[in-house]
């Protein structure tokens, strides 16, 4: 739980020796936050005014985690043994379902709170929760409607102080052609009407935190009929719409067999994509499909650690960058909860597959730093994915920032000009000393209020969950 308002707002004015503004690093930066939790003004080249809070290090904007399944934090690292036979995404999915079938709302809240605290420490100040764990374990809606599991996530975000974009997901079928849901998918069932009703209930929830965003999602093309997709989008407003797409080659092959088109091509031709849409993974996209997406204004959400963990494949990052498609970053299955680790993996996969270095850099565009280009890209793309028109250290954006711990061993003696490069490509590192969200300190000197209690509740939920699983 974040500090109280009185303690958290140590003054509306902060001063940083250096800060990452939309144009890059700036020196001697004064930042003034308003009572609404947004930046009122940001000035550069000025001294700290009397009463201003002097930050203990350089400041970066917080980033958006644009794709998370919070309950899967309970499964992180626990599917890394293989029996006889092949292990792939689909066998991992079957094991993940066993966890999904057992998580209670109380456990969901405990797991999500621990996850969100780790995400804050890892550099994220907003998380987009792609939520499809709707129903009770027997598949029936909860007595209070389908809000129980979603409210548990929302309460966890409020307790920790992270920003939240909730994305209730449509999930009707187990495969193309209208195949019925499998028995172990019963908790996921939600049609277009149910998703829109859940969206509206979450927006109207009196327990909702100020500034919470709510959009919608479609689990995938295989889980949504064209009619259901059309009905859902018809009921949407300007909020984000997310969908898993082209993560696995089998999914691509199945889509071609069922529709005659690859999944991204199908979306571009039939879904009237626009800037509200965010295509999660898009791992197996052709250059022609990337160009089609670029013409629509839609964005993509890349999840490097999960895509590596599941053996999905390697995204064509240079093609997405060249097409100027908005790119966001997601933690997905939450095997990694660190901004820097995700970005490092994104670049390193390109280096390994292409046998080149600094693949994401663009010196011809005056962007020679791989780290700076990636950071700027996912900052912009993440804002749109979360439903924000403005993001970062600029007037009108929410007053979020990360204070870099320059005492971290990896940063000792590093030139200021290369600070972001070292943060991203020298590890291990615990980079962020303090974290501010909406003008409130949610972590100070690597510690969050009630962090120990959150950890205890998480450990208890894990013990109960895995005790049950071991006896099945």
Does the annotation mark 67 as catalytic? no
Q: What is the pLDDT of residues 344-379, one digit of tens each?
A: 999 999 999 999 999 999 999 999 999 999 999 999
Say how far apart CA 223 and CA 164 lie, in whole Å: 25
Q: What is the pLDDT of residues 163-178, one digit of tens each?
A: 999 999 999 999 999 9
108's CB contacts (< 8 A; 6+ apart) are 70, 71, 133, 149, 152, 153, 156
Catalytic residue among 316, 332, 405, 434: 332
Q: How far is 21 from 436, CA to CA, in rounded Å?
A: 16
Choosing from 134, 219, 281, 284, the catalytic residue is 281
Domains and CATH numbers, the chain: 5-61+392-452 (2.30.40.10), 63-386 (3.20.20.140)
Q: Is 460 in contact with 437 (CB distance < 8 Å)?
A: no
CA 435-438-444 angle, to 5 degrees, is 25
pTM for this predicted structure: 0.96
Residue 472 above 50 pLDDT? yes
Q: Is the pLDDT of residue 457 over 90?
A: yes
Q: Give the closest residue to 243 by CA, choosing from 336, 334, 169.
A: 169
* SS3 state at 261: coil
Query: How do residues 192-235 score in pLDDT, each as one tens digit?
Result: 999 999 999 999 987 666 668 999 999 999 999 999 999 999 99
Give the whole-angstrom CA distance, residue 210 versus residue 37: 10
Average pLDDT, the chain: 94
Peptide bond just before 193 cis, omega within 30 deg: no
State whether residue 341 is helix, strand or coil. helix
Q: Which residues contact 209 (CB under 8 A, 6 or more apart)?
A: 154, 157, 158, 164
pLDDT bin (cut points 50, 70, 90) of residue 277 is: very high
Residue 468 clears pLDDT 60, i.e. is over it: yes
- Tell which residue, 343, 357, 375, 213, has the closest CA to residue 278: 213
């Amino acid at each position: 739980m974040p500090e109280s308002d009185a303690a958290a707002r140590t003054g509306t004015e902060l001063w940083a020796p250096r800060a990452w503004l939309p144009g890059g690093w700036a020196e001697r930066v004064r930042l003034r936050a308003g009572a609404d939790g947004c930046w009122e003004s940001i000035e550069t080249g000025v001294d700290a005014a009397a009463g201003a809070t002097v930050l203990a290090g350089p400041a970066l904007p917080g980033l958006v985690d644009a794709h998370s399944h919070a309950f899967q934090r309970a499964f992180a690292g626990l599917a890394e043994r293989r029996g006889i036979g092949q292990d792939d995404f689909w066998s991992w999915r079957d094991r993940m379902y066993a966890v999904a079938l057992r998580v209670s709302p109380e456990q969901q809240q405990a797991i999500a709170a621990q996850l969100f605290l780790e995400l804050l420490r890892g550099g994220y100040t907003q998380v987009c929760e792609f939520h499809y764990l709707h129903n009770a374990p027997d598949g029936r809606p909860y007595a209070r409607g389908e809000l129980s599991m979603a409210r548990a996530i929302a309460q966890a975000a409020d307790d920790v102080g992270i920003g939240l974009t909730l994305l209730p997901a449509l999930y009707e079928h187990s495969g193309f052609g209208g195949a019925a849901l499998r028995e172990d998918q019963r908790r996921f069932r939600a049609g277009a009407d149910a998703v829109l009703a859940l969206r509206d209930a979450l927006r109207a929830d009196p327990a909702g935190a100020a500034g919470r965003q709510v959009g919608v999602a479609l689990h995938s093309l295989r889980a949504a009929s064209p009619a259901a997709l059309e009905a859902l989008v018809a009921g949407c407003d300007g909020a984000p719409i997310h969908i898993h797409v082209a993560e696995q080659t089998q999914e691509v092959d199945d889509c071609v067999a069922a529709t005659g088109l690859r999944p991204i091509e199908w979306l571009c031709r039939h879904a009237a994509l626009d800037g509200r849409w965010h295509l999660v993974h898009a791992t197996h996209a052709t250059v022609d499909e990337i160009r089609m997406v670029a013409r629509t204004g839609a964005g993509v959400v890349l999840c490097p650690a999960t895509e590596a963990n599941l053996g999905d494949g390697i995204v064509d990052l240079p093609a997405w960058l060249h097409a100027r498609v908005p790119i966001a970053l997601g933690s997905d299955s939450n095997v990694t909860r660190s901004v820097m680790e995700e970005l490092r993996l994104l670049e390193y996969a390109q280096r390994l597959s292409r046998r080149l270095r600094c693949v994401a850099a663009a010196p011809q565009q005056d962007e020679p730093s791989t780290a700076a280009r990636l950071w700027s890209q996912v900052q912009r793309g993440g804002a749109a994915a979360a439903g924000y028109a403005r993001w970062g250290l600029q007037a009108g954006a929410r007053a979020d920032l990360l204070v870099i711990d320059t005492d971290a061993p990896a940063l000792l003696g590093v030139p200021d000009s290369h600070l972001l490069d070292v943060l991203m490509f020298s590890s291990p590192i615990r980079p962020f000393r303090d974290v501010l969200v909406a003008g409130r300190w949610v972590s100070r000197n690597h510690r969050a209020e009630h962090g120990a209690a959150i950890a205890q509740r998480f450990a208890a939920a894990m013990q109960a969950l895995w005790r049950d699983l071991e006896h099945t």
